[in-house]
């Protein structure tokens, strides 16, 4: 149980909430009933006795019919990890004990944030279930089952018992993108992309005379029969190779279209919905899913916090690890002095995809240095397409224009230094094939 819940539990009635105990209502009924009856007898006022008798009787009956036994509440928590489209359910099994009449339990309500509202139910209910739905991805608390059991007329209660916070990680959603071939890499002879080396592939590389060691099935009989010298010719093909893709995520800034909101934070949320970091995360997981389906190796680099990176890997397990790690990166997101992308983080010959709003010169230098080391680099711009001026500032329009001019100058500098640049809004609509085309046209 969390420290906050322990403090709340300790503050509630000094620990008496863990056993059946009388409420203030019962104490007041007994004291007031006895007092009115005594005063009525002494002063010979029948009205006071008639007023105090019902209170005294209800208090006595509450003590005599007090519930017995130790109530038990068992909670079946939802899975720790879920998709944004999933609707898991939290299940609560209750054993209220004898003579319990009412159950007050806190459960999440659809459309209401936080732990949820308190529901008043009869104690005859043995099982309660509530669906959990959170559209925003990331880690958060979805349910905290607080409960209280009461006897007849709520004179005797057990609780309130403060439950523990049950957190759940909602993975970033995946957008299906058609994949395209990546540029050849200098190593590897097994995969889905064309290599520079000759081998057993699909794409034709050359037709040459037969040499010792060539396979007979590679002989091109049509060309051999048409030759005048009687030699045999074979069809040489390009070998296929895997590709290494490193997704470099800029978690230092998270901006939205409204310039007035850039200096504020969204309470209770990991990232701003529709902001640059949200767009970067959705783009990263979508690209990773597309190329992992081809058998390529995909890794992750957090430019703000390099220790949170993930080495390149393959398969569905790598995709799950990458999505969980991106949630960790987003939770720890924040401004850092400068982005970090060293040669030890990127395999030689890998394709580096830098996802950033490009609001400073440091991120431009990181992308250019990666390209100079021999990597193909693609800069994906995730800055919102339409920036909205801050109307409360008389210089708001000037600030917006200056931001756009500086942003355009940085993208131009990237293109001039051999880095392919595109906006994610364009890439998501045209598919990953357009990304591959940009990379193939980019000079080293």
Domains of the chain, earliest start first: 4-65 (no CATH), 72-170 (2.60.40), 194-241 (no CATH), 244-442 (3.40.50)
For the chain, what is the mean pLDDT? 79
Mean pLDDT, residues 348-369 taken together:
91
pLDDT above 60 (res 430): no
> What percent of the residues of the chain are helix, what percent strand, and what percent coil, each to the nearest 5?
35, 25, 40
Task: Give pLDDT, residue 253.
Answer: 87
**What residues have CB less than 8 Å from 321, skipping those under 6 apart?**
310, 313
Task: Give pLDDT, residue 331.
Answer: 85
**What residues have CB less than 8 Å from 158, skipping those under 6 apart?**
17, 18, 19, 20, 21, 67, 71, 97, 100, 148, 149, 150
CA distance to 24, 66, 151, per residue, from 32 (Å): 12, 20, 21
pLDDT above 50 (res 444): no
Task: Give pLDDT, residue 320.
Answer: 92
Split at pLDDT 50, 70, 90, the class of 197 is very low
Task: Give pLDDT, residue 267.
Answer: 54
Q: What is the DSSP letter of 152?
A: G
Residues facing 39 on adjacent strands: none
């Amino acid at each position: 149980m969390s420290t906050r819940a322990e403090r709340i539990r300790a503050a509630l009635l000094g620990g008496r909430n863990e056993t059946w105990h009388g409420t203030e209502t019962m104490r007041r009924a007994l004291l007031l009933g006895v007092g009115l009856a005594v005063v009525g007898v002494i002063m010979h006022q029948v009205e006071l006795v008639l007023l105090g008798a019902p209170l005294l009787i209800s208090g006595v009956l509450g003590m005599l019919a007090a519930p017995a036994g130790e109530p038990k509440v068992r909670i079946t928590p939802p899975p720790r990890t879920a998709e944004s489209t999933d609707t898991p359910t939290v299940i609560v099994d209750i054993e209220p004990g004898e003579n319990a009449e009412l159950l007050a339990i806190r459960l999440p309500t659809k459309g209401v944030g936080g732990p949820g509202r308190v529901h008043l139910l009869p104690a005859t209910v043995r099982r309660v279930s509530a669906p959990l739905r959170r559209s925003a991805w990331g880690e958060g608390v979805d349910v905290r089952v607080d409960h209280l059991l009461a006897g007849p007329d709520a004179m005797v209660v057990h609780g309130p018992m403060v439950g523990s916070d049950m957190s759940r990680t909602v993975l970033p959603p995946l957008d299906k993108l058609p994949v395209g071939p990546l540029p050849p890499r200098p190593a590897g002879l097994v995969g889905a992309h064309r290599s520079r080396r000759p081998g057993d592939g699909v794409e034709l590389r050359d037709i040459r005379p037969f040499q010792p060691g060539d396979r007979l099935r590679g002989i091109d009989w049509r060309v051999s029969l048409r030759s005048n010298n009687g030699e045999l010719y074979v069809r040489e093909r390009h070998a296929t190779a895997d590709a290494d893709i490193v997704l470099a995520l800029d978690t230092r800034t998270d901006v939205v279209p409204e310039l007035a909101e850039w200096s504020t934070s969204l309470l209770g949320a990991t990232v701003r919905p529709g902001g640059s970091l949200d767009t970067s995360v959705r783009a990263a997981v979508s690209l990773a899913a597309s190329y992992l389906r081809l058998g390529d190796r995909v890794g992750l680099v957090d430019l703000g916090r390099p220790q949170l990176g993930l080495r390149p890997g393959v398969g569905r397990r790598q995709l799950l690890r990458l999505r969980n790690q991106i949630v960790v990166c987003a939770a720890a997101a924040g401004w850092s002095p400068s982005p970090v992308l060293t040669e030890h983080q990127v395999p030689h010959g890998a394709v580096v995809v830098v996802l950033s709003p490009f609001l400073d010169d440091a991120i431009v230098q990181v992308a250019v240095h990666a390209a100079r080391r021999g990597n193909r680099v693609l800069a994906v711009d995730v800055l919102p397409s339409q920036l909205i001026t801050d109307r409360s500032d008389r210089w708001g329009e000037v600030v917006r224009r200056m931001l756009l001019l500086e942003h355009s100058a940085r993208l131009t500098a990237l293109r001039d230094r051999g880095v392919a640049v595109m906006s994610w809004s364009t890439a998501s609509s045209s598919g990953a094939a357009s990304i591959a085309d940009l990379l193939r046209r980019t000079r080293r």
